[in-house]
Structure 1
Amino acid sequence: MYAAVMNSPDPRANFAYPLLDVTRLLRKHFDRRAGPLGLTRAQWRAIKSIHRHEGISQKALAELLEMEPIPVGRVIDRLQQAGFVERRADPADRRVWRLHTTDKAHGVLDDMEIIASGLRDDALAGIADAELIACIATLDRMKQNLLALEETSPKNSNPD
């Protein structure tokens, strides 16, 4: 068990630390394993998102990735130059580019899924299905609680 949570009189005070550590370590190990593919994290996230949402606009992709439009445009430029993504004009709006993955990207996506599957297996070693199901249910409840805050918070409030 996570020492800070176990030693605290209130486990609610420190629950986020192990959550953040697990997230950071998953990213670190995925990046390390995906290094031979020659893609940055932003690039593989973009490829995966475009694949899931074929025909997405650059603006919508930026929102999905929670990035500013200009850096997303640069990522797409590099992916297009490398042959992973193609831009197609939107037939209804000439100002909009629709993004599509290429056959080359599909091969990389397959490799990324193999890497992700292996990492999931390593991360979940020794964890029973019932434990994982309970963890996922708890995280989902936390997510719903936080989403509910967004619905009730003023749109322009400053969190600082």
Structure 2
Amino acid sequence: MVDILREVGMIERALDSMSNIEFKQIDLARGQYLYVVRIYENPGIISEQLSGLIKVDRTTIARAVKKLEQKGFIERRSDPTNKKIKHLYVTEKGKQIYPFIIRENSHSNDVALQGFSEQEAQQVHDYLVRIRHNIDHDWNFVKHGGKRQY
């Protein structure tokens, strides 16, 4: 069997490492750019939804949100009907860095897909979406206390 997850992991770690170095100039630490982008693209999102988008646990979300809030990139606002629910929004400072993050993402996509036709790039995308959907069930299962059978 072909071990594609090893390749996907190496790609992810390389891109994440480069981003973390480049994003230091805008005061973003390890992986924080991902939170800013998802909150920017989903204004008013709640932590549980963000957890599902990024595929990290609620504790990691809470820690990242707190740090980004302290740095002034995002803010939490109480829900008008249920004060326990906190909606997440990007601040003006967060909005200002979004274009830089997107330019980096676009550049990385262009580099990654060099030599691919549009059709091949679309196929790669479609395959990766299918792989993610295959993994989503296990992620949700384990996240909610389930034990996978190997």
**What band does the TM-score fall into relative to the shorter chain?**
0.7 to 0.9
Which residue matches 1:111?
A: 100
Which residue matches 2:65?
A: 76
Is the counterpart of residue 47 in structure 1 residue 36 in structure 2?
yes
Unaligned 5+ segments in structure 1 are 1-11
Cα distance, 1:56 vs. partner? 1.6
1:58-87 deviation digits (Å, cap 9, x = unpaired): 343344333343443332222222221122
Q: CA RMSD in A?
A: 2.9
Which residue matches 2:117?
A: 128
TM value normalised by structure 1? 0.73
Is the counterpart of residue 28 in structure 1 residue 13 in structure 2?
no
Is the contact made by 1:29 and 1:119 (CA closer than 8 Å) also made in structure 2? no
Is the contact made by 1:48 and 1:109 (CA closer than 8 Å) also made in structure 2? yes
Is the contact made by 1:30 and 1:119 (CA closer than 8 Å) also made in structure 2? no
Q: Which amino acid aligns with 2:106?
A: S
Cα distance, 1:92 vs. partner? 0.6
Which residue matches 1:5?
A: none
Which residue matches 1:4?
A: none
Distance 1:144 1:93, change over 3 A: closer
Count of paired positions: 148
Which residue matches 1:13?
A: 2
Is the contact made by 2:138 and 2:148 (CA closer than 8 Å) also made in structure 1? no
Which residue matches 1:93?
A: 82
Q: Could you tell me the percent identity over the aligned residues?
A: 22
Question: Which of these two proteins has the greater Rg computed from alpha carbons?
Answer: 1
Unaligned 5+ segments in structure 2 are none
Farther-moved stretch of structure 1 (84-93 vs 137-146): 137-146
